[in-house]
Structure formats: structure tokens, C-alpha cells
Structure 1
Amino acid sequence: MGKTMKTLLLAIVAAVPVVLAACTGSATDQTKIRIGEVTRSIFYAPQYVAISQGFFKEEGLTVELSTTAGGDKTMTALLSGAIDVALVGSETSIYVNQQGSDDPVINFAQVTQSDGTFLVSRKKLDKFDWSMLKGSTFLGQRKGGMPQMAGEFTLKKKGIDPQKDLKLIQNVDFANIPAAFSSGTGDYVQMFEPQATLIEKEGKGFVVASFGVESGQLPYTVFMSKKSFIERNPKTIQKFTNAVYKAQRWVAAKPVDEITDALTPFFADTDKEIVKAVVKRYKEQQSFASDPIVDEKEWNNLQDVMQTAGELSQRADYKKLVDNTFAQRAIEAVGK
């Protein structure tokens, strides 16, 4: 784990600024629940669908959504009580567990089941082979974060040592990676959507591979909360999970155009055709989880990725940090 993550997880703050609030409406019989998302991303389509299509409201919940900008800040907000539920990578719950928390963070509803980044080449390649990366300058993600770990895991699978075979750049802030690549930094870059599609549209780069496809299924982004909050509010967590599962079924059943329409209110500054292209790409590679269950095999794959990156000192107990009770009940209640 990087020093920044360790420091911020230990220095818990009392509040986190709310960047954006999104509510389904209010009613006297509704329960308010505060969600902190690690970033605003089309990758989290089921969450926005649960809001825009009224699934949270159906369950008697009013959602306040804030973007907490980074795994460390999101976890700090959760641990301090500034938010009730976090949408963030499962690795953050493992990091908290490694710190010896008396109130562990529990993963209870999975949203994405693969890495969401893509390998973008500066040059258009008629035929790509991973060996082409050797000797290149690679603009990567933050050390200790799930994107970088999934990236390194994939590179090593392909016979590439990130530290020896590449000029690896990791000192660029997440938000500045697309601009850095556009301005000439790196031969290749590991990039999220919609930036990857935007870069392609501008002719400044070309998507040549998917880290999500290559690194396999894992609980990449999950709704989680403190054990104490879940124990105090089991009915609220159940309603929340029911709404998430309804949204997952909706996303699985609906065409790309309809999903795009459901998401556009959350991406007002992004061209609708870009949103559509990203939804199509993520849906085709099955990035969205089909149900909220956090699978043990995927959990173990996550820890394999973390160990390969040297970010896991001891494997975390699946049964301690994952509670599928609410997901299983949601499937029973809503149907398959």
C-alpha cells in the first residue's frame, strides 16, 4: 500500500466536502442514505440507473450521492461517518483490515466484476502484441491502487516486468493522466473511460487491449459499509441491495441506447455519443456484475493481483470482510 493511502486511512477526518448530491426525491416515509463514490464514472452504470429509474425510491430510500475523489478519501469519509456507504474498490477494505480496525469494512454488494482500464497506444497498430511494450515508456496509474495492480498483474502474465522492461511513470495524478498523454508523455497509457474513447476520437491514441479482460473477474468495485452501520441498519442495507440488484437486472436487459439515456443526467458535460460508446464497450466485455454477490473465487483473484503487486502482506479472510446475506435475499425477493 502506498504511503498516501496509509497516512490518510490513519488520519480520519470528521467530514468530507460534498461535491455533488443526487436525490430521487423525498418523502416522509423514506430513509436517507449517503453514498460516497470513489469517482464519477460510466463504469458504475448500475448505481446511476438505480437512482434515475427510481429503484432506490421504490425501496423507500432517498439517496444523497457525493463524489469523494480517490480510494483513500472515500475510505476516510466512510470510517469517519461522513457517508454511510462507499462505492470503491474492495482492496480498500483489505487495507483497513491490515491496519487492525475494530470495526471492519464489509463488502455487501458488488457493482463491477473486472478492471475498467484499457491499454492505449500512441501509434495506430495493425496488429498488437504485448511484447511491443518492452522498452517503451508506460504511463501508469497510482501505485497501490487497483488499476495499477491489475495492470502490473496483466503485464507480468504477458512476460513483462514493469520495473525492468518499461520506463514506468507513476507520478502523474489520476485526473491529469489523459492530459499528460495527449501532450506527449508515454508511448502507452493505462486509461479509464470515457478518456480512452475521447483520446481515440481526437486521433491522439488507440485502444489496443483491455486490462479488464486480461486480469480476469474480480470484485473491482463494491458497495461497502462499516460493520457497525450494517448491524444497526440491516433493513436499510437490504433495501439498498434490492435496489442495486433491480438496477443490475435492468442494465443486463436493456439496449445500449436506453442505458445511455438513463446515465446522461449524471454526465451532462460528456457528449452523449461518447457515453453510448463507453456503455457499449463495458457491456460487451461484461464489466458490470450481473448480481450483487461477491464471489469467493473472484475475491481470491483480487488478492492474487494484490500479492503480485507487492501490496498485500497477509491475505484477508473472505468470511470476515464479505457478507452476501443481503445479496442472496435480494435475488430471492426480486427474482432472477
Structure 2
Amino acid sequence: MRTKLLYISGCLATLLIAGLAFYFFQQREPAGQIHLRVYESGHEMANLPHYIAASLGYFSDENLAVSLFNAKDDPAAEDLQKAGVVILPPEKAWEKKMHAFAQMTHFEPGFLLAREPMSSFAWSSLKAKIVIGGDPDSTLETTFEAILKKEGLRPQTDVTIVQNLPAKLRLGAFLAGSGNFILLRDPQAQQLQLAEQGYVVASLTPAGNVPAQICAASPGFISRNSEALVRYTRAIARAQSWIAAQNPRDIAVAAASFYPYLDLDTLTAVIERHKENDLWAKTPAIDPKQFAALQEIMFKAGELAKPIPFARVVRPEIAAEALKSLASTKNQ
């Protein structure tokens, strides 16, 4: 009899635990919620629309559970073809045969930094100087070279550009005394300036409108997860509209948790600088003309043998559907 009672008690306890587990699981997992892994090639100011969408709950509004990872730190990112969404410069997406479906910025977010403050900078100041640049095929490097050419300076003739250093060694080389100038994106640029080891003298926006930071995924991932990507892009679109309408201080407050190493005043100053440069795109839709402009820059830099058809590497229907549904919601 005792054994039977123990057996019944055990069964009841098991059912109770299972019931509680099911209840809490249901509470944590809203019906229809989609999990989406997002990788960033670097933690950059260019990715601000993602951070704002997370901070203001736009992903939650879309019933998305979004996890953000640094692609350099997560072993699961070794095969980005299967991993999920990746936020990165377009040339890196092409290398990995990934398709772009949204843009974060419509300018190159990089800066030129000098060793000493320069009250009045002119591009002609670079003549006979050495600049620590980026990868030869990067938007950071090719937009810089495009500006030099506009200013009548010949890359590697009038201005020496160091391009053979691995990314992780460039800043160290500059701090050790190599070069007169360096190309960097934020927050690295701002951190160097805070340490009084480098000073921003120019942005690279004079190169013109280009989709310099994009969201991409493998063709297979896009086909299997189009609904999730539309939801994600809709959240990014809302964040871009919010950023365009807000002042730098309010944006900094919303994004502060993503930049724990920058105090609020510093973060506000950085965002203000980028707002003045109109860095962040107003819409996630990639403009074919801007896409062509980027390819022209890369072609003239000798980093693209021939133009890549827009339809081969861009999936515009994702952003189109996201913007259409947003417009429909506003009109209701």
C-alpha cells in the first residue's frame, strides 16, 4: 500500500512539474514568436538602428526574439551561410555569397584621423603623407581613394596608403608611430580621440551616397525565413525613422546600454557628429543607383573586375514588403 501511495505521489509531482514547466514555457514563448540570430562584423556606430530597435522594443512588437552576436567571437558564426542575419559592409557579403536585404547607412561611416588637432583641414594636406588605410576592397578604403581622386590626389603616388596590415594591427601600428593619418570607424575613432592619440579631421561622406553597411543573409536562409526578415526589416525601418526625428541626446539615452564604455556626453557627441553627416539611411530599402555608385567606386579603385547585377546580390522584396506593411498600418 505504501509503495502504491509513493508511486501515485510521484506521478502527481511529475504532472505538477510538467504543468508548471509548460505554463512558464508558454509565458516565455508567445505564440508565433520567431527567434532570429543576428551577427555584426564589428560593434560600430553604423549599426545604431539595430540597437535602437532592440532598446525601444520594436523587435518585441514584431514578436521577434533577436539575439545579437559579434561574428568574430561566436564559434557558431563560422558558417555564416547558415547562421542568420549578418550586419556588415557590402563587399564582405559578396565574398561570402550572401544577399543584402536592407541597409543601415547610406554613407561610408569612416573618418580620417590625424596625430595632432588640425583647426583647418584640407585634403591637399595629405600630399606626400602616409595614411594607414583599410582592406584594399573595403568601402572604408575605396571611398577614401575616391575622395582623393576628386581632390586631384593620386593614391599611392601623391599619398601613400598602407593597405597590407591586418585589421587588428592597424591601430597598434599607428600608436607605435607609423603613418601620419589613419582611417577608422566609430567607436574606435572616438576612443582614440578621447585618449588624445588621434583627432578626427574629416569624414568620408564626400564620396557620396553608398550602402556602406547592410544586412545580409544566405539565399537559402532568406528563402526559408522571409517572414522573419520582413519583421526584422520593419523594426529597423521604425528605428531609422525614430533616429531621424530625435535629437542626439535622446538617441544616446536609448542606445547607452550598447556602449557601456562611453559616457552619455561622449556618446551624444558621437551621434551628433554622425547626424550632421546624415549617416543613417532613412529607409532600409537599398537604392539601385547608390548600389551602382558603390560599384563604380570599387571598379575605379581596381577592386571590382566588372559590375555585379543588382538582382544577383540584393533582395529588394524584403524591404519593399516591410515598408508596404508599415505604410498600411499608418493609414489604418
TM-score between the two structures when normalised by the length of structure 1: 0.83
Q: Which residue number in structure 1 is paired with residue 79 of structure 2?
A: 77
> In the TM superposition, what are the counterparts of 1:131-280 in structure 2 within 5 Å?
131-211=124-204, 213-280=205-272
Q: Which amino acid aligns with 1:134?
A: K
Q: Percent identity?
A: 29
1:87 paired to 2:87: yes
How far apart in 1 are the matches of 2:40 and 2:305? Answer: 27
Instruction: Give the drift of 1:96.
Output: 4.3
How far the C-alpha of 1:248 sits from its partner, in A, is 1.0
> Which amino acid letter does the alignment assign opposite residue 60 of structure 1?
N
Offset of 1:39 from its aligned partner?
A: 0.3
The 2-side partners of 1:74 and 1:107 are apart by: 21
Q: Structure 1 CA distance, aligned partners of 2:262 and 2:229?
A: 32
Q: 1:26–1:315: structure 2 CA closer, same or farther, 3 Å change rule?
A: farther
Does the 8 Å contact 2:49/2:243 carry over to 1? Answer: yes
Query: Shift in Å at residue 139 of structure 1?
Result: 1.2
Unaligned residue ranges in structure 1 (runs of 5+): 1-24, 98-104
Whole-Å separation in 2 of the counterparts to 1:324 and 1:226 = 14
1:27 aligns to 2:20 (yes or no): no
SS in 2 for 1:149: helix
Q: In the aligned structure 1, how far is the partner of 2:255 from the partner of 2:169?
A: 24
Asked if 1:326 corresponds to 2:328, the answer is: no
Query: What is the correspondence of 1:301-320 to structure 2 with a 5 Å cutoff?
Result: 301-320=293-312
| TM-fit CA distance, 1:301 | 0.8
The code of the aligned residue for 2:283 comes to D
Tell whether the 8 Å contact from 2:30 to 2:63 is kept in structure 1 after alignment.
no
CA RMSD of aligned residues (A): 2.3
CA distance in 2, matches of 1:26, 1:183: 51
Q: Deviations over 1:226-245 (max 9, x none)?
A: 22222222211111111111
Question: How far does residue 95 in structure 1 lie from its aligned partner after superposition?
Answer: 3.3
Structure 1 ranges of 4+ moved more than 4 A: 73-76
Offset at residue 26 of structure 1 (A): 4.8
Structure 1 distance, partners of 2:282, 2:253, is 20
**Structure 2: stretches of 5+ with no match in the other structure:** 1-26
- Aligned to 1:51, which of 41, 49, 54? 54
Is 1:116 the equivalent of 2:109?
A: yes
* Contact kept? 1:194, 1:275, Cα under 8 Å: no
Determine if contact 2:210/2:293 at 8 Å carries over to the other structure.
yes
Q: What is the match of residue 5 of structure 2?
A: none
Match of 1:15?
A: none
Q: Deviations over 1:27-58 (max 9, x none)?
A: 24311111111100122110111111111111
The structure-2 alpha-carbon separation of the partners of 1:110 and 1:177, relative to structure 1 and needing over 3 Å to count, comes to: same
- AA aligned to 1:291 is T
Aligned residues: 300
**SS, match of residue 191 in structure 2:** helix
Contact 2:46 2:104 in 1 (8 A): no
Larger Rg belongs to? 2
Does the C-alpha gap of structure 1 residues 222 and 240 become closer, same or farther in structure 2, counting only changes over 3 Å? same
Distance 2:197 2:63 in 1: 46
